Structures are given as C-alpha cells and as structure tokens.
Amino acid sequence: MVSLHLLSLLINLLKVGAYNIVSSSPLRLGIAGLGTVGAGVVRLLCEHADLLKTRTGRLLQVVAVSARDRTRDRGIDVTGLQWYDNALDLVQDSNVDVIVELIGGAEGVARTLVEKALKAGKPVVTANKALIALHGYELAMLSADYQVPLLFEAAVAGGIPAIKTVREGLAADRLLRIGGILNGTCNHILTVMRKTGQEFSTVLKEAQDLGYAEADPSTDIDGLDAAHKLTILAGLAFGRPVAFDSVYVEGIRHIAAQDHIFAQHLGYRIKLLGLARKTQNGLQAHVIPCLIPQYAPLAQVDGVFNAVIAEGEFVGRIMIEGRGAGAGPTASAVTADLVDIARGHAMTLWGVQSEVPEPVRACPISTGEAAFYLRLQVEDRPGVIADITAVLRDYGISLQSMLQYPAEKETLSSAESYASSYVPLVLMTHHLTSESAMQAAVAQIGALRVVTDTPVMIRIETP
C-alpha cells in the first residue's frame, strides 16, 4: 500500500515534469543551425564527450542536425547523423530529446521551432537573444504550460555565465541594477578610436575586414544587439519580462575621434553601456554611449570583451568579464545549458515560481536625471558663449565646467581639424540635470547661427 507521503511526492514529481528526473541514458540532441556556433557546439561535444559524461553521468549525443547547405565544409564530421533540410522536422524525430536552436532571428523558423518543441514536450536550448528579448513572455507561458525548460545562457555575453550568475548565484539578493558592456563590436570600435585617434568610419571598415563587424553592422553599432541582451538581463534581475520596445536605444555612429580626446583630457573613457535600474519613477532601461571615469573597472574592459555588472542590497557590486561572442565561448554557454538538462536541473524562464508575470515597461529616458557632456562646434567670436549659456539658463541647467579648445591641429592631436574661424566647445553639466530639459536645450542650441554643426551629447555614468 502506497503511503500518503509517497503519493504526494510522486504527484509533485509529475508536476515539475519528467525532465527533472535524472537518467543515465544518453541525452540525444537535435541541432538546428550549423553556422559558427552550431559547428562549435558539435565540436565541443565531441572533444569533451568524456568530460561531460563524467560531470553529468550521461552521454550528450548529437543524433540529428538541420542546416540549409549539406555540401558546405564546416570542419566537423556529420557522418551518421540524421540530416533534415527543414529544421521543424527535428521536433517530430522521436530519437531527439532536446532541441538546440542556433538559427537566430526573432521570427520565422527559429521562433516556430522553439514554440513547436515546447508544445511537443521537448526541452529547448537557444543562443537567440532577439527571440528571448522580443518574445520571452509568450515563450515563458509555453514553457510553464507544458512544463518544459527553455534555457538561453548563450544569449547574453557569450562565454560569460551572466544568466547563471543573476538567476542562481544572486538568487538570494534583491538586485538594484544590472547591465554593462554588452556588445564586443562596439567596444572594439570605441577602443581602437581611443587608442589610434581614427574616425568611426575608418575603424568600422577595419573591424569588418577583421571579422569583428558584420557586412551590415547596424544591429551592433546602433545598439540593438546590446538592447536585446539588456532586456533579458533586466527581466531576470527584476523577476519579470521587460517590454523591448520601451528600452531606449542609442548607438555610436555620432561619436567622433575628438570626443575620445576630450574625454581623456577630462578623465573619462567612452563606452557603450546597457544599464537597467530601479528608480522612484519605475524601471529605467537604456543602451547609450557614456563617459565613465578612467578609474572605473568597466573603463578597463577593452577590445571585443564584454563585462556584466550587478548591484544587490547584500552583495553590493560585482563584475564579470570575458569574451562576448565567437564559436568557443558561445558553444561553451550552450553546452552549459545542456549539462543542466542532463543533470535534471531546470529553471523557470524569469527565475520566479509563480505565474508568468506580465511584461513591465521601462520609463521614458526623458524622466531621468544625469550629468552630460556636450560638444559644440561654434564660431570663434565674442558673444558666442553668452548665447549658449542663456539657453541653458532658460532651461534651468547648471554647468559644472566649460572648456574651449583651440583649433590648432597640434592641440587636437589626431582629432578632426577645424577651420581657424571655428572652435570646439565642451560643456559639462551638473549631475542632477533633467534629461528632458537637456534634450530641449540641445535642440535649441543646435539651431543657433553660431553653432556650425550638430551638437554631440553624451551622458556621464559612474558604473
């Protein structure tokens, strides 16, 4: 006769799903997408097969794959694997236990594959940041309804265990803010601009030649890639999905070589940061170029590296750093999720055990306050500064400092040289400047006849 206690235990096991029951049988994988990351995952699983079996007690075995071109040489042996031209056929294969989605994109086959796999009761591992950022709420509902895990460690910061850190390592704390340097392409471009004095367009072309930037780099340099990652991190940090379209996004196209030179003179470096924090007005979430103090740990993160910072009530501030992209780091993150599934571990999508919470919208950036760096190109004649400060006065903006740089080439180093009748003027505001007031003032200043080029405004952060 079964005791009530044992019966209750069995019922609870059924509720959490069979994927939490550890098995010694092979975990059979179907991989959709054999690009750089997909091929890297296959290679890692092959080369570390014994190590992974030791750590999980199970063989992690690729049994089926799907990709568009069967003839392409990917540097991996797919002999003996079931090949599907249509990735959706992986879901119907009874020999596949787990779907690994490495196709990419928020819509189309990738989204349909993940949805069908969850509905079929098959766990999913993905590196698809856009899919989670834009459709995380709907996918969390499916994951909860069908009691199937959806894991996505590789979607944020490549090989850095950012998601595990937030969702598991910091589970006992209440987080106050999350973010960091979330795009290696932008960080590389800004680093080279600072070190060489080259302009943005030149460095971008070199980055494309080196393979650090795509032929169409807009997703990276316009901040969308970082915004996808920030949306995911913020949802995990604060326990509910964040509406992607509410995140303010600004790229780095307008940053000039001279901004790096002036920033360095002032004791700062320029980084593209994605930051989310709780405020009295609600959730702030934005991706923006920032001036950060040269002594700040994030200021030391250069090149293609990423860094994630988190701040909690008890833990204080932490930072983790590493390569944010590439076959090796991303394959390692994908496999870490597969290890969790093999061990019978599965977290809810947003790290909360209650019903999937409704998405929260971030506050408009205009509701915030910050300090600002403002660079103007102005006519070199009396009365110019008076005209500009009059506008700032009318909007209640207090200046912390004002620097007028000579136009001589030797003073500006390799920055863009100016005609003798124009000079760069750099203004630094007080740290409690209203964002809305600053935006309005800059628009009016840009319309002044004495201002000869579009003003460049960069926010100042102390991460």
Q: Is the pLDDT of residue 415 over 80?
A: no
**Range of lowest pLDDT (32-46, 62-76, 210-224, 433-447):** 62-76
User: Would you name the residues annotated as active-site residues?
Assistant: 229
Among 461, 458, 459, 463, smallest CA distance to 259 is for: 458
Q: Which of the four pLDDT bands, split at 50, 70 and 90, describes residue 17?
A: very low
> At 419, is the pLDDT very low, low, confident or very high (cuts 50, 70, 90)?
very low
Residue 99 has pLDDT above 90, yes or no: yes
407 falls in which pLDDT band (50, 70, 90)?
low
The answer to whether 84 and 66 have CB atoms below 8 angstroms apart is: yes
167's CB contacts (< 8 A; 6+ apart) are: 236, 347, 351
Extended strands (E) in 295-398: 305-312, 316-323, 369-379
CA of 335: how far to CAs of 10, 31, 112, 152, 463, in Å?
Answer: 30, 12, 22, 10, 31
Q: What is the structure's pLDDT at 323?
A: 85
pLDDT in the model for residue 354:
67
Q: How many CB atoms lie within 10 A of CB 95?
A: 11
Q: What percent of the chain has pLDDT over 70?
A: 91
C-alpha pair distances (Å), 386 with each of 217, 360, 382, 424, 449: 41, 44, 9, 15, 13
Confidence of residue 372 (pLDDT cuts 50, 70, 90): very high
- The region of weakest confidence among 216-225, 353-362, 374-383 is 353-362
Average predicted confidence (pLDDT) for the chain: 88
The whole-angstrom separation of Cα 244 and Cα 223 is 13
Instruction: Locate all alpha helices (DSSP H) within 324-460, ordered by sequence.
Output: 327-343, 384-394, 409-412, 435-446
CATH numbers and ranges of domains, the chain: 15-155 (3.40.50.720), 164-323 (3.30.360.10), 368-460 (3.30.70.260)
The pLDDT, as a whole number, for residue 135 is: 95
Percent of the chain residues past pLDDT 90, beyond the cut: 67
> How confident is the model over 309-362, as pLDDT tens digits?
999 999 999 999 998 777 888 899 999 999 999 998 877 776 666 677 889 999
**Whole-model pTM over 0.75:** yes
Smallest CA-to-CA distance from 108 within 141, 131, 85, 140 is with 131
Cα 16 to Cα 3, 148, 404: the distances in Å are: 20, 9, 65
pLDDT at 385 over 60: yes
**Segment among 68-72, 264-268, 279-283 with least mean pLDDT:** 68-72
Confidence (pLDDT) at 214:
86
* pLDDT score of 359: 92
Tokens of 336: 């870490």
- Please give the pLDDT value at position 73: 78
- Name residue 429's amino acid: T
